[in-house]
Structure 1
Amino acid sequence: MSGPAAADRLLGRVDHDAVLELAERLIRTQGHQDLPVHERAVADLLADELATRLPGERSEVSLQAVDGGRANVTAVVRGGMPGPTLMLNAHLDTVPGYGMPDAYRPVVRDGRLYGRGAVDMKAALAAMLTCLDVLAAPDVAFHGELVLTAVAGEESGSAGMQALAEGRTSGAPARADFAVVGEPTSMRVARAHKGAMWIEVEFEGVATHGSVPHEGVNAVYHAARFTTAVEEHLVPRLSGRTHPVLGSATVNVGVVRGGDRPPMVPARCSVQLDRRWLPGERHDEVLEEVRDIVAALRRADPRVSAVVREMEGTSGFVHAPLECPEDHPGVVLLSEVVGERLPGAGHPVGVDFWTDGALLAAGTGTPTVVCGPGDIAQAHSLDEWVPLDQVRAATEVYVDFAARYLRTEISGRGAHG
């Protein structure tokens, strides 16, 4: 038995109760930047679960050191016939609880799974592990390899994906023929997302007493002229730069901070921007556009003094956009599978938020998309949740897609029958 018929038969083997139980165990296991070893406990749990479920010569499970005691987890299932490598990717960490009540005590209520990491992205991780489990059955053969990479630190610097993409983790493939990152897209196939850059412009003036402001240089006034220029000139310029599924490039003035006391002319004022950039834009040009605004202000008023820098949140590495061609065979097939499972959701889309998928694609050349259960709006929230029907759909989509992409065959002799 092969082709779609094999995929249908494999779907009958999925234990959705077990997927939910695993997602709950992952939520109970904390893994975030406030802990001494971050997400290591989650990595150990996942590695143990994979080793239990994937015995035999066709499978291999390994931990790869990333940063101190932290680790990525990689599982490889070999199909037994030559063919492509399909990678499923998720991150192990979450943001901290941040005051979420019972953040690490998962509960199912009103068709939703609540808990920190439920949507970002432990439900997707449980679904992906189940996909490997199903395709590793003794009576299942396929072309190529099915790989799960679970990486450390996506929420705080992407140390795990940087190590993977740069080939610094032994036991993990350097490149795949296609990759699916399970960040929440409501199970839409996101073939592109925007790049991200946080920019700080720090204006320097001259402080003096507030009763004689003409003897000083007010840094807040210069910052105000800058924000006005951003709104009146940069915003319209960016709105004219568009992408077929991402819409326009954007900039947001998120923080303005300056001054000490009312009776003082402020000597410093900082403006912080969130810039989302499109495929086709260049990292250095994004910064240069902001520097050009400051230069124009300086030409109008030589007293303007400012430093433009990329902020720590994005300066560790280039947070580039992601784009996979709409006609890539993986995009076409995954969209078809999603459309069959979720009518009306099969057309590829773009998302505004950044993911590790951009690092994977840029570092290894792997064609990469994002497709996972739940809505990004619930991520990092104080009542984080994922719909159970989306978890079910994700598990079925991953199994169905992997079976078809890897041209799976079932002999009928395995323990599953």
Structure 2
Amino acid sequence: MTGAADVAEVADLTSRMVAIDSVNPDLVPGAAGESEMAAFVSDRLRDAGLEVMVLEPVPGRPSVVGIARGRGGGRSLMLNAHLDTVGVAGMTDPHTPVVDGDRLYGRGAYDPKGSLAACMLAAARCRADDLRGDVIVAAVADEEYASLGTRTVLEHVRADYAIVAEQTGLGQVCVAHKGFAWMKVTTRGRAAHGSRADLGVDAIAHMGHVLTELGDLGERLSDRRHPLLGPATVHASLIAGGQELSSYPAGCTLELERRTLPGESRARVEDELRQLVDRCRLRLPDFEATVETSLWRTPFESSAESPIVAAVRRAAEARTGTRPEPFGKAGWMDSALLADAGTPAVVFGPGGDGAHALVEWVDLRDVAACADIYHEVARAICR
């Protein structure tokens, strides 16, 4: 392992970014967004000698791409981390970074500004390595909501391999995560005065049958398991219907979330829900319903033997003395978008705690280790 990242440098860089409010405005209307963070990151990457471009498909939602350009003929590596954070309601001084021993506290310290600092420091060190391949930092907007940033970056830049710098605690390397579908079922009844059962059709009562079928589907999904991720799941998230107490409800809408496993296609998941509704239609007179998908995100899986996974595990073992074990995370990440674009990816980052919580911190020694590990992986992949 060449060199070693300085913990004081890591603390300073991460602190400067924690001090910048980059709450995602799609999560918190009117929030700051990524502009100030993007300006800070782009300036630091330019100062380090990287080629920088700022991509802003939506005003106020920029992403930054910094490239430590190789001399040519080598494989490229993308280090992907996001600029945005979740909200800060209930936190005390969320953008005042506090260092206590090896811990840095503040919103975004763990998710993922420490990881982003490690990516930036690693790429800067690659400038002196005379590598053949490019090392690319993708500091992306909107990961916490709709992944606008990574989707935009992939329209302009591709890499042979990628590390998504989310939190794994150094001792593990994430090679799989679930996908999800946000879906909607709308039942249609017939409005009528509450005294006229002969005229009304109750859309809410009909939705009750859908909910019963949904519970049965959940039971069946519990038998559909992945060795690292456990079972596929489905749950009812939001429901609304009716217009007033004295009327039969003309409509009811159920929004649900289906968490998917590698190998489950969008077509399969949508057909599953349509069949569920069809069973209700066969049983109930006057049953009418529609089904739609509002958002689909594919699951992710990478072979534990792939070159990028192997390179991360070797570099981590050389730096820490322990080879990280492959594992799966339930939550969705931008790694799926990279894999869908043909870029083999792995998820690896520092330890800490409090992602999306009221108290959030990152382990600064882990961030320094990640900077060294990312650097060593780049040297192995891009040589």
Deviations 1:7-59 (A, max 9, x none): 2x322xx12211121111112212232458731111111011111122xxxx4
Deviations 1:357-392 (A, max 9, x none): 2112212x11111112246x7322222332334323
Quote the Cα distance in structure 2 between the aligned partners of 1:406 and 1:166. 22
Quote the Cα distance in structure 2 between the aligned partners of 1:328 and 1:127. 23
Q: Does 1:156 align with 2:145?
A: yes
Quote the Cα distance in structure 2 between the aligned partners of 1:226 and 1:166. 40
Deviations 1:166-219 (A, max 9, x none): 33xxxxx3x212100112232321112111111111222233444555642222
Q: Partner residue of 1:410?
A: none
Distance change in 2, residues 1:373/1:263 (3 Å): farther
Return 5+ residue gaps in structure 2 as ranges: none
Quote the Cα distance in structure 2 between the aligned partners of 1:238 and 1:343. 39
Contact 2:186-2:254 within 8 A present in 1 as well: yes
Count of residue pairs the alignment pairs up: 378
Quote the Cα distance in structure 2 between the aligned partners of 1:334 and 1:135. 16
- Taking the TM superposition and a 5 Å limit, the aligned residue runs for 1:196-345 are 196-210=180-194, 213=197, 215-232=199-216, 234-311=217-294, 314=295, 318-341=296-319
Quote the Cα distance in structure 2 between the aligned partners of 1:210 and 1:100. 48
TM-superposed CA distance for 1:339, in Å, is 4.1
Return 5+ residue gaps in structure 1 as ranges: 1-6, 168-172, 408-417
Question: Among residues 5, 10, 17, which one is paired with 2:3 in the alignment?
Answer: 10
Contact 1:339-1:347 within 8 A present in 2 as well: no
Q: Partner residue of 2:48?
A: 53
Quote the Cα distance in structure 2 between the aligned partners of 1:236 and 1:112. 42
Q: Partner residue of 1:181?
A: 164
TM-superposed CA distance for 1:290, in Å, is 0.8
Query: What SS class does the counterpart of residue 3 from structure 2 fall into?
Result: helix
Query: What SS class does the counterpart of residue 48 from structure 1 fall into?
Result: helix
- Give the letter aligned to residue 216 of structure 1: G
TM-superposed CA distance for 1:110, in Å, is 6.3
Quote the Cα distance in structure 2 between the aligned partners of 1:17 and 1:207. 67
Contact 2:335-2:345 within 8 A present in 1 as well: yes
**Mean alpha-carbon deviation: is it higher for 337-346 or for 202-211?**
337-346
Distance change in 2, residues 1:304/1:101 (3 Å): farther
Quote the Cα distance in structure 2 between the aligned partners of 1:257 and 1:111. 48
Q: Partner residue of 1:402?
A: 378
Quote the Cα distance in structure 1 between the aligned partners of 2:273 and 2:100. 47
Contact 1:178-1:330 within 8 A present in 2 as well: yes
Question: Among residues 59, 65, 68, which one is paired with 1:68 in the alignment?
Answer: 59
Runs of 4+ in 1 over 6 A off after TM superposition: none
Q: Does 1:113 align with 2:104?
A: yes
TM-superposed CA distance for 1:352, in Å, is 1.3
TM-superposed CA distance for 1:345, in Å, is 6.0
Q: Does 1:380 align with 2:350?
A: no
Contact 1:42-1:92 within 8 A present in 2 as well: yes
Quote the Cα distance in structure 2 between the aligned partners of 1:146 and 1:322. 23
Contact 1:81-1:141 within 8 A present in 2 as well: no
Quote the Cα distance in structure 1 between the aligned partners of 2:320 and 2:328. 17
- Give the letter aligned to residue 211 of structure 2: T
Query: What SS class does the counterpart of residue 83 from structure 1 fall into?
Result: coil
Deviations 1:68-101 (A, max 9, x none): 3543211111344632111101111222323432
TM-superposed CA distance for 1:251, in Å, is 1.0
TM-superposed CA distance for 1:143, in Å, is 3.6
Distance change in 2, residues 1:243/1:339 (3 Å): farther
Quote the Cα distance in structure 2 between the aligned partners of 1:213 and 1:112. 65
How does the TM-score come out when normalised to structure 2? 0.90
Query: What SS class does the counterpart of residue 51 from structure 1 fall into?
Result: helix
Quote the Cα distance in structure 1 between the aligned partners of 2:117 and 2:334. 18
Quote the Cα distance in structure 1 between the aligned partners of 2:240 and 2:360. 31
Contact 2:21-2:32 within 8 A present in 1 as well: no
Question: Among residues 337, 347, 352, which one is paired with 1:370 in the alignment?
Answer: 347
- Give the letter aligned to residue 356 of structure 1: D
Distance change in 2, residues 1:145/1:219 (3 Å): same
RMSD: 2.4
